[in-house]
């Protein structure tokens, strides 16, 4: 009876430990800590556990170094199971309840996780000196199925501790890598600050360039307006120039036509002058011929003239007068020719002046022709009278010529 009474508290502690381990296995089920067969074996040994309402747990962070050994109560030694005199003193109920409440609290914070880590690391169940690991403590023959399950869980817990230590080593390595990359990060931050400053400077430069572009656009608009105004003025000037050129062309064409008309008129006058000059030369030649004939006749009639001294003297006087008149006529003819030549030159040089005075020149020509005809008639009359007197032997002076 004493042994049974001694073992009952140990079984209670074992049940509480199994419940705690079951909760831990449910929390870390993603790593496969407990199989369905072990759960069935536990149910066969200890029966169905009381239905507890499990709170919501925060998801397990594999990067955090959490040791679960502190959440487990201190296991019983083999002597504790056999005899109460050799068993270790059980943990207090308050300590076990606090551990269970801490494990069952929903969504533990970072402080709770650190506390849990401290409790797990200080737990004698998962320490390297635990009697459950390495075959020490109770033998496999006396443990039964529940002992084997607990031993399996402890081995799994050791493996998880090793993994946690490896993760901690990896974390330290990552921390050292981060510390090694810190200068590079600072350099990148300095480069980022420099690039940010360059960006701000570039933005200010771009703004200034945008303002300058706007100013240039405004100046371009002003220049475009000036160019359009100048083009309009140039078009207006070209139009006026075209009109003036057309008017000038008309005036030039009119002047050319007038020059052609004046040239034609001058040509006609020149032809008329040439005809008159030719006629005058023919008449002068005829007069010269007649004078030569008169000289011959006078030579023949010299004998008669000797007889007719008075008539001869008078006739000589008349002849002197006629010769003088002839000389004057020749001089007048030469003068007229010279004047006509100069007038023709003036006509060719200044057609417009000739056009204004052509009527006056024609009148002068007509008067000159009339005078020449009158002189020729007088000469003819005088010659005829001399011939008649010589034939008739009259020595009286001839009457005055007809007017």
Identify the weakest region by mean pLDDT among 115-119, 185-189, 379-383: 115-119
> Residue 216: its pLDDT value, please?
93
> Residue 51: its pLDDT value, please?
43
Whether the per-residue pLDDT at 221 is higher than 80: the answer is yes
Closest CA to 76 of 152, 132, 144: 132
Give 1's DSSP letter: -
Whether the per-residue pLDDT at 65 is higher than 70: the answer is no
Residue 393 Rama label (left phi>0; alpha psi -120 to 50; beta): left
3-state class percentages of the chain: helix first, strand second, coil last, to nearest 5: 80, 0, 20
Helix (H, G, I), strand (E, B) or coil at 54: coil
Average pLDDT over residues 220-234: 91
With a pLDDT cut of 90, the percent of the chain lying above it is 17
Identify the weakest region by mean pLDDT among 3-7, 11-15, 281-285: 3-7
> Residue 16: its pLDDT value, please?
62
Could you read off the pLDDT of 260-278 as tens digits, one per residue?
Answer: 888 898 889 888 888 888 8
> Residue 31: its pLDDT value, please?
44
> Residue 134: its pLDDT value, please?
43
CA 34 to chain centre: 77
Looking at per-residue pLDDT, the higher value among 21 and 121 belongs to 21
Across the chain, mean pLDDT equals 70
User: What are the phi and psi torsion angles at 377 (to 5°)?
Assistant: -65, -40
Number of Cβ atoms within 10 Å of the Cβ of 378: 17
């Amino acid at each position: 009876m004493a042994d049974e009474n001694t073992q009952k508290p140990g079984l209670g502690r074992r049940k509480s430990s199994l419940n705690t381990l079951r909760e831990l296995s449910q929390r870390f089920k993603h790593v496969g800590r407990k199989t369905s067969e072990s759960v069935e074996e536990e149910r066969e040994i200890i029966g169905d556990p009381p239905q507890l309402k499990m709170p919501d747990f925060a998801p397990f962070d594999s990067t955090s170094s959490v040791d679960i050994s502190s959440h487990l109560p201190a296991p019983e030694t083999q002597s504790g199971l056999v005899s109460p005199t050799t068993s270790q003193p059980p943990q207090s109920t308050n300590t076990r309840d606090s551990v269970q409440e801490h494990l069952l609290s929903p969504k533990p914070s970072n402080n709770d996780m650190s506390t849990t880590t401290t409790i797990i690391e200080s737990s004698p169940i998962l320490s390297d000196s635990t009697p459950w690991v390495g075959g020490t403590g109770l033998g496999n023959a006396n443990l039964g199925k529940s002992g084997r399950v607990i031993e399996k869980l402890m081995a799994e817990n050791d493996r998880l501790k090793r993994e946690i230590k490896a993760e901690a080593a990896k974390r330290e390595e990552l921390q050292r890598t981060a510390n090694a990359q810190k200068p590079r990060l600072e350099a990148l931050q300095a480069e980022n600050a420099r690039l940010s400053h360059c960006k701000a400077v570039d933005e200010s430069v771009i703004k200034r360039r945008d303002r300058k572009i706007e100013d240039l656009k405004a100046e371009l608009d002003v220049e475009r307006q000036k160019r359009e105004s100048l083009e309009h003025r140039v078009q207006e000037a070209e139009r006026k120039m075209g009109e003036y050129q057309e008017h000038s062309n008309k005036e030039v064409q009119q002047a050319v036509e007038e020059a052609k008309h004046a040239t034609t008129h001058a040509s006609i006058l020149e032809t008329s002058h040439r005809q008159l000059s030719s006629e005058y030369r023919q008449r002068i030649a005829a007069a010269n011929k007649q004078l030569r004939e008169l000289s011959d006749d006078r030579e023949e009639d010299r004998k008669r003239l000797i007889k007719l001294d008075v008539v001869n003297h008078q006739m000589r006087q008349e002849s002197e007068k006629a010769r003088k008149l002839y000389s004057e006529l020749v001089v007048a003819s030469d003068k007229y020719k010279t004047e006509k030549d100069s007038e023709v030159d003036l006509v060719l040089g200044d057609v417009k002046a000739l056009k204004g005075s052509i009527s006056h020149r024609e009148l002068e020509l007509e008067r000159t022709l009339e005078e020449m005809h009158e002189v020729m008639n007088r000469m003819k009359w005088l010659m005829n009278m001399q011939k008649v007197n010589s034939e008739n032997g009259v020595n009286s002076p001839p009457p005055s010529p007809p007017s």
